[in-house]
Amino acid sequence: MRVLLCFGTRPEAIKMAPLYHELKKNNFEVLVCVTAQHREMLDQVLEFFNIQPDYDLDLMQSNQSLNSLSALILSKIDNVLRDTNPNLVLVHGDTTTSSMVALAAFHLGIKVGHIEAGLRTYNKKAPFPEEINRQLTSRLVDIHFTPTTEATQNLLNENILQQDIVQTGNTVIDALLWTTNKISKEDYYHPEIEKLKKDISFDKKTILVTGHRRENFESGLKNLCEALLDISKRDDVVIVYPVHLNPNVKKTVYDHLSERENIYLIPPVSYPVFVWLMQQSFLIVTDSGGIQEEAPSLGKPVLVTRDVSERPEGVTAGFSTLVGTDKQKIIKTIQVFLDEFISFEKPLNPYGNGDASEKIVAFLNRR
């Protein structure tokens, strides 16, 4: 069985990596096509997980619009699909790559499986454009691999047939556990980690911050920065912020936060380094989806700087707290966690236990 994996961003690559290796282990003919919707950050993940793409469309352009990116993907993937003629195309999540590749495969009558299917906010502007990407992809694909019961129910509510839904957990937990096992070994060495150890005092309560959502580019990101400035007045806190490469993010963050001694603005780090940073953190503040899924396995609380999340399971279980982008709410909630949080009583991750890739491959073997 020939399977073509298509992805374009760092989060997709992380979540597809363990599935790639599981497919190879089970003697599938596996081909990989990357659109390079994110270039540098994608390449770091490919190297770490030892994945060599068979096709690299290299579509990243500075400040490209969503429409131009969509047109490029739809146009360029056509030749790849015709050349490889796969039995199945696997796409992931909510990216422009996923929705456009699914559409192209549909046009050619090629079956498509959707990894991490069924997540919803039902607000087409949040997250933007990811919510609509997910919904479009769900209408196009043949097999829906859902991470949770709630994601499964979302699809059933949308009249997707039960027989086309396979609940597996999230492959990001597979990738996270593989990574923590690797970086915890005594002989593991990473120059970025060694530099961070020298530059930052991790003996204080470390707040790890990320932010990149398009809907937060303006006032939301500014409010977050002002809240972090207020929190940085505390003597017991250090803030570490790997700043996204998007120029809309970099300018706002550096304009507001570059003058504080206990706020460390660093370039984006590779995946193993980020996992190591999560392990060192006391609290994570983010608008990322993947971090909401990973943090429970590490016992770390997450403040989500969004008004809605397509990952409500973490909120329900108490691992994540939605704080939106209101400056005062962010400040108050961070203060409460810094002063009161000790640990989670039952750190059972609602997104899985690390066997999602095995379940996906087992289903494909049966089918």
Catalytic residue IDs: 94, 116, 130, 212, 214, 244
Helix axes 171-183, 356-366, angle to 10 degrees: 130
* Count of residues in the chain: 367
Task: Please tell me the distance from the alpha carbon of residue 187 to that of residue 109, in angstroms, as a whole number.
Answer: 49
Task: Please tell me the distance from the alpha carbon of residue 289 to that of residue 73, in angstroms, as a whole number.
Answer: 23
**How does DSSP assign 296-361, residue by residue?**
HHHT--EEE-SS--S-HHHHHTTSEEE-TT-HHHHHHHHHHHHHH----S----TT-SS-HHHHHH
Omega into 11 within 30° of 0, i.e. cis?
no
C-alpha closest to that of 90 among 178, 37, 19, 179: 19
**Strand 55-56 relative to strand 88-92: parallel, antiparallel, unpaired?**
unpaired
Task: Please tell me the distance from the alpha carbon of residue 252 to that of residue 218, in angstroms, as a whole number.
Answer: 8
DSSP element (H, E) containing 144:
strand 143-146
Q: Which amino acid is at 26?
A: N
Write the DSSP symbol of residue 127.
Answer: S
DSSP element (H, E) containing 48:
helix 40-48
Task: Please tell me the distance from the alpha carbon of residue 69 to that of residue 252, in angstroms, as a whole number.
Answer: 24
